[in-house]
Structure 1
Amino acid sequence: MIGRRNFLQTSATTATGLLTIPLFAIGNKQLAPDESIIGQGDFRYRVHKDWAKINPFNTFIDNCHEMVVDRKGRLIMIGDDPRNNIIVFDRSGKIVDSWGTYWPGGHGLTLMDEGGEDMLYVSESGWARSQADGKSMIRQSGFVAKTTISGRLLFTISHPMTVGAYTPEMLFQPTETAVAPNGDIYVADGYGSDYILQYDEYGRFIRKFGGHDNADKNYNLSSAHGIAIDHRDPAGPRLMVTSRSAKSFKYFTLEGKWIKTVNLANLQVCRPVIHGKQVYSGVCWSHNFAEAKVDKPWLVQSGFTMVMDENDRVISCPGGEAPIYKNKQLQPVAQDAQKTFFNGHDVCVDGDDNVYVCQWNGNRTPPVKLERV
């Protein structure tokens, strides 16, 4: 049986003959590349930068942080402009709702089906712009909020020192959450102290792991930016955690025991997004900060996105060069020559395997749609 995507590709080949050459590649070498098509292998996409229908005079975006799909197929985005933190799009890119005016560091967005009702877990990272100049970033403690899909607040998780998990001087700037099948909530303190904090479904503290300076270095995390529950292993769910500054993903049991580390060469990945057998992620940076020779190397725009298979092998880098392995090790991957993206911060995958890319430091641009071809 021919799938919908393969049928469309076959039809296009029949209809246009040699004109379809830009859509194909041999090995890692592109043939007559079409700049509107990015990615490699079976994960290639047509870029739609004008997908989002946004009026910049009444819908405000600073940084586009994360996006999820709800049960109605709507795409829900969180940003850090508190005039409209949450923006809801339909599949055509039209805005159908917006709400939230209290997350100046709005960062993480997790959606869970709880008893047939969509729930959102929002991570307020604690970064905020100075009211004095509107440019300087102020670092302060953040929190996690659980809300209904329409924004009604149910409860919050505040600084871990309130439950004895942190000492008062430890910073708490959560960047992401994940929810286990039993309702346990895992919070990644990616901009704070780099711990993963586990709570029960009511927000009661259970344990923490990660951080820095562990005797077993496998437990060390550096910019624990993202976390997800991975259900792909038949043996049972496990945690997948980002260690962004260390350019790696780490797998743990749900009790916090280290399983393995996946090194990703130069890819500073954001949260893992698991869809089918693949893991998708935004690559915020691919350059070496130490070699950037600028005052603020984190503002250099070298990002793209990546797709990793069930064997932890990167198989496509939309917006970047083709991934190459030598001796089972991923080699450095650079941003594509046309600079499709600025800094890839998050991806969202819909039911047709299209990908929506959120960008940080992206000149206030809305999400970009990648249509799978």
Structure 2
Amino acid sequence: MNNSRRKFIGNTALLGTALAATPSFGFNILKKSFEEDLIVGHGDFRYKVHKDWAKISTAHNPILNCHEMQMDSKGRLLMIGDHTANNILVFDKSGKLLDHWGTGYPGGHGLTLHNEGGEDVLYITDCGYFVDKSGKYHAQAGQVFKTTIDGRLIFPLPHPHTIGAYKQEEAYMPTETAVGPNGDIYVADGYGSDYILQFNHKGEFIRRWGGKNNTDENYNLQNAHGVAVDYRDSNNPVLIVTSRTENAFKFFTLDGKYIKTLNLPGAFVCRAVLDDENIYSGVCWSETRDGKKWVRDTGFVTILDGKNRVVSNPGGEAPRYVNRNLQNMHNSTIPIFNHGHDVFVDPDKNLYVCQWNAYNTAPIKLERV
């Protein structure tokens, strides 16, 4: 057992003892020391936790939920949230706030960055699910907007009702986009009717698939929360679509033909984030050890290798396979995260974790060790 592992186990045991025996003032000091030295993850994917990475004042730049993050060609980290005082927060890698903008996305949820001819553009997804000033949740039709890197509108994607792609009773509350190798835009309707919609680079509708009531159940999606293009086979890029309620990623061709399902038992995963040969994903909830689901503060991060095997669960228990079958995954016995919603991987392989329903906190940095 290496020294870092001994230190982590020792700190964990010490914190557990403190929960029962330490006065509150002493516990706060001990907890701070524990978090400063905390190492999470498994195998070759281990990280030091920096909960205070973001240098912002929530009084001036308030946060409801941190949803997704991307890095532009200048090395700036752009995060989307659902507080309309500043939907987009722009950081440098040290956590310094460089800019903030956007007041018109009350359901600010999905953020995709795409380089077009040397220019960065954004696809901003407003899911239509938002919190008002009194703290009540509301639902309305969502929308996807293509903008410049500083938020100037280029065009909105059409609402599927207006182009005959949806029946009137089918709800549209999109959660995520991805851009294909030819510029086609894929929209995951994860809070609405669970379709994947494909548009060309001009925003013209091509097709849809997925939904809930297909004869071939492989096409059924349950909370199609994310969509991503997998370029790991450069000659054969495919789509990875989240079916979060099923604890699964489903793989499709770029024109919507089903390929396979990757089950991730116990993990309610968000979008797949591709970096080199690995897949990273925020886990918003995990099944508890006594089989309960949708229990708050059970999130973590999961990491898969090039063979789609889980190799590390920062903030969760170590992945375990029995006869090549992945066993149910759980968060750690002492929770590190609330609800992992997205992960960004920087060029140094550090992670930035955006969280939903995390007491209005900023993203957490995981420094690769």
Residue 161 of structure 1 aligns to a residue whose secondary structure is coil
Structure 2 residue aligned with 1:12 = none
Q: What corresponds to 1:308 in structure 2?
A: 304
The answer for the alignment partner of 1:332 in structure 2 is 328
Distance 1:290 1:211, change over 3 A: farther
Residue 4 of structure 2: which of 2, 18, 22 is its match?
Answer: 22
Question: Could you give the per-residue CA deviations for residues 303-339 of structure 1, whole angstroms, max 9, x where no partner exists?
Answer: 0001011111100000001000112211112211221
Give the conservation status (yes or no) of the 8 Å contact 2:111–2:177. Answer: yes
Do the aligned residues in 1 keep the contact of 2:289 with 2:330 (CA within 8 Å)?
A: no
1:322 aligns with 2:318: yes
Distance across 2 between alignment mates of 1:268 and 1:289: 15
SS at match of 2:121: strand
Shift of 1:41: 0.3
Contact 2:286 2:294 in 1 (8 A): no
The answer on whether the counterparts of 1:299 and 1:361 sit within 8 Å (CA) in structure 2 is no
How far apart, CA to CA, are the structure 2 residues paired with 1:48 and 1:167? 47
CA RMSD of aligned residues (A): 1.9
Counterpart in 2 of 1:204? 204
Q: Which residue of 2 aligns with 1:112?
A: 114
Partner of 1:192: helix, strand, or coil?
Answer: coil
Pick the aligned partner of 1:353 from 349, 354, 369: 349
SS, match of residue 163 in structure 1: coil
AA paired with 1:72?
Answer: K
Query: Are the aligned partners of 1:359 and 1:367 in contact in 2 as well (CA < 8 Å)?
Result: yes
Unaligned ranges ≥5, structure 1: 1-17
Q: Does 1:343 align with 2:345?
A: no
8 A Cα contact 1:130 1:136, kept in partner:
yes
Q: Report the equivalent of 1:7.
A: none
CA-CA distance at 1:24 after TM superposition = 7.7
- Deviation of residue 271 (structure 1)? 0.4
For residues 160-198 of structure 1, give each alpha carbon's deviation from its aligned partner in whole angstroms, at most 9, with x where no partner exists. Answer: 011111011211000000001111000000000000000
What CA distance in whole angstroms lies between the structure 2 residues aligned with 1:103 and 1:289?
Answer: 37
Q: Report the AA paired with residue 158 of structure 1.
A: P
Q: 1:39 to 1:290 in 2, by over 3 A?
A: closer
Change (3 A) 1:197 1:290: farther
Report the secondary structure of 2:161's partner residue.
Answer: helix
- Contact 1:183–1:200 (8 Å) recurs in 2: yes
Cα offset, 1:129, TM superposition: 2.2
Give the TM-score taking structure 2 as reference length. 0.90
Shift of 1:72: 1.0
- After TM superposition, the score normalised by the length of structure 1 is 0.89
Question: Partners of 1:268 and 1:329 in 2: how far apart?
Answer: 18
Mapped contact 1:104–1:129 kept (Cα < 8 A): yes
Equivalent-residue separation in structure 1 for 2:296 and 2:333 (angstroms): 15
Matches of 2:229 and 2:75 in 1, distance apart?
21
Mapped to 2, the partners of 1:83 and 1:206 lie a distance apart of: 35
**1:67-86 alignment runs, 5 A limit:** 67-86=69-88
Counterpart amino acid of residue 318 in structure 1? P
Matched residues in 2 for 1:153 and 1:33: separation? Answer: 49
| SS across alignment from 1:346 | strand
Q: 2:130 aligns with which of 128, 131, 144?
A: 128
Residue 104 of structure 2 aligns to a residue whose secondary structure is coil
Q: 2:367 is matched by which residue type in structure 1? A: E
Structure 2 Cα separation of the partners of residues 150 and 193 of structure 1: 31
Paired residues for 1:179-328 under 5 Å:
179-287=179-287, 292=292, 298=294, 300-328=296-324
Once residues 199 and 290 of structure 2 are traced to their aligned partners in structure 1, the CA distance between those partners, rounded to angstroms, is 37
Task: Decide whether the 8 Å contact of 1:142 with 1:158 is kept in 2.
Answer: no
- 1:159, distance to aligned residue in structure 2 (A): 1.9
Partner of residue 48, structure 1? 50
Percent identity between the two aligned chains:
54
Pairing 1:140–2:140 present: yes
- The answer (yes or no) to whether the contact 2:287–2:329 under 8 Å persists in 1 is no
Q: Is the 2:287–2:294 contact (alpha carbons within 8 Å) kept by the matching residues of 1?
A: no
Preserved contact between residue 239 and residue 252 of structure 2 (Cα < 8 Å): yes
Q: CA deviation at 1:288?
A: 5.6
Match of 2:363 in 1: 367
CA distance in 1, matches of 2:287, 2:347: 32
Q: Distance in 2 between matches of 1:218 and 1:196?
A: 14
In 2 relative to 1, CA 242–92 (structure 1 residues): closer, same or farther, beyond 3 Å? same
Cα distance in 2 for residues equivalent to 1:24 and 1:314: 23
C-alpha displacement of 1:299:
5.8
**Aligned amino acid, residue 187 of structure 2:** V
CA distance in 2, matches of 1:206, 1:265: 33
Return 5+ residue gaps in structure 2 as ranges: 13-33
Aligned to 1:218, the other structure's residue is in SS state helix
Residue 22 of structure 1: SS of its match in structure 2?
helix
